[in-house]
Amino acid sequence: MKKFRLILVGGLLLSAPLFAAEEVLISPKQVQAMGLEVAPLKSVAAAAGNAMPGQVVVPNNQLHIVAAPLAGLVETLAVAASQSVKKGQLLARLQSPALADIQRGFLQAATQAQLAGNTLARDEKLFREGIVAESRYLAAQGHYAESAAQLAERSQALKLAGIGEAAQARLKKNAALSGTVDIVAPADGVVLEQMATVGQRVEAAAPLYKLAKLKPLWVEIQVPLAQASLLSGGEAVNISEFSATGKIIAVGRSVEEGSQTVMVRAEITSGTERLRPGQYVEAEVSSSAAGKQWRIPATALMRDQNRTYVFVQSPKGFLVQPVKVLAETAAGAVIGGLGGDERIAVRGVAALRGAWQGQGKGE
């Protein structure tokens, strides 16, 4: 494993060792006397403690805020926090005087639109028979279009108040005004939060409930910058404590200034029933490059002139092997640059360094 560099002397290229003593020659007796300890490499994918902190959150498109469509008094709350609901299920009932005004305006607009439609049909027939002028027919068209637009506006106001097309048809038929607003669930889900109480007066758009669909869920993981750079999306994620699994769907582009970590988002599709939004978990990420990453104790690292090395055991002693540090904590580091079958010194590295320098470490 000798490394060489080329030197130009008198027009000739000569080779010289990059390191004068890349292999530290030590006998087995010396190894024992120096208190050296060696250990095999442990893959990051299999290493204990590979878990990284993350928080469970609900995907944005699965969250719903149910609000009061009109100002009024909360008469009934039909569900409570942590309760499962189905789409269309009654959540709350409001008493709102404003609803009667909207219904009255809708009925007036419907009547005007019907009259304008009848007038248009009559004037169109008379115009085709040559009895009335074209200007009268065009005026009837304009009046009908205006009346239809006003009816559509009033109809939309009723929809926003929770009165659908079927209920509007019944209102046209019966003309029975009501001051009660029924608020129903917009989708299947679970009530995460109740934000109103019975008897409370609320303004229009005041939130009443927060609903969420809880499968799938997201886990936002804080990944060290060096490891995040190896992720591209699709890597498997395992939350072993809760038997939940998923995959990475997004790798953040910004770095958290204080911790120098990157937010990596995983979508959890299995085991979501054992997770809760807001919960903190430990997530393990298995990247395609994990098999080439090794977790070693901090005592195994040796630094010299801005480079990092480990001592790899050889038949005659130890080889000085440069490595790339991908992530590091006070307890250990994740490194790359090794094959995987090496055994490295994990204790007594200072003595090995002294022996290396004593054998003539080259620059």
Instruction: For residue 3, tell me if it sits in a domain.
Output: no
Instruction: For residue 106, tell me if it sits in a domain.
Output: yes
Query: Pick from 286, 313, 339: which residue ends a domain?
Result: 286
Amino acid letter at 347?
R
What pLDDT sits at residue 50?
A: 63
Instruction: For residue 7, tell me if it sits in a domain.
Output: no
What pLDDT sits at residue 162?
A: 78
d(CA 347, CA 17): 28
Which tokens sit at 160?
A: 């926003």
Question: Are 223 and 247 within one domain?
Answer: yes
Question: Are 189 and 220 within one domain?
Answer: no
Question: Are 322 and 218 within one domain?
Answer: no
Question: Are 264 and 312 within one domain?
Answer: no
Query: Pick from 178, 203, 235: which residue ends a domain?
Result: 178
The three-class DSSP label of residue 233 is coil
**Counted domains in the chain:** 4
Instruction: For residue 87, tell me if it sits in a domain.
Output: yes
- Give the DSSP per-residue string, 34-76: TT-EEEE-EETTT-TT--EEEEEE--GGGEEEEE-SSSEEEEE
Nearest in space to 251 (alpha carbons), one of 267, 268, 264 = 264
Give the CATH number, domain containing residue 71: 2.40.50.100
Question: Are 103 and 245 within one domain?
Answer: no
In the sheet where 201-202 sits, what is the strand order? 180-184, 90-95, 72-77, 201-202
Domain holding 322, by residue range, is 19-44+293-358
Instruction: For residue 155, tell me if it sits in a domain.
Output: yes
Give the CATH number, domain containing residue 345: 2.40.420.20
What pLDDT sits at residue 49?
A: 44
Question: Are 169 and 124 within one domain?
Answer: yes
Instruction: For residue 14, tell me if it sits in a domain.
Output: no
What pLDDT sits at residue 361?
A: 58
Per-residue DSSP letter, 215: S
Instruction: For residue 145, tell me if it sits in a domain.
Output: yes
Give the CATH number, domain containing residue 265: 2.40.30.170
d(CA 179, CA 102): 10
Instruction: For residue 13, tell me if it sits in a domain.
Output: no
Is the entire prediction scored with pTM above 0.75?
A: no
Mean pLDDT (10-residue bins), the chain, 363 residues: 36 36 82 89 61 94 94 95 95 90 88 92 91 91 93 88 81 80 93 96 95 97 83 90 95 90 95 96 76 83 89 92 82 82 91 81 51
d(CA 296, CA 312): 12
23-25 and 180-184 strand pairing: unpaired
What pLDDT sits at residue 117?
A: 92
Question: Are 207 and 233 within one domain?
Answer: no
Amino acid letter at 186?
P
- Give the DSSP per-residue string, 296-347: EEGGG-EEETTEEEEEEEETTEEEEEE-EEEEE-SSEEEEES--S--EEEEE
> Is residue 265 left, alpha or beta, with left meaning phi > 0 and alpha meaning psi from -120 to 50?
beta
Query: Pick from 242, 266, 286: which residue ends a domain?
Result: 286
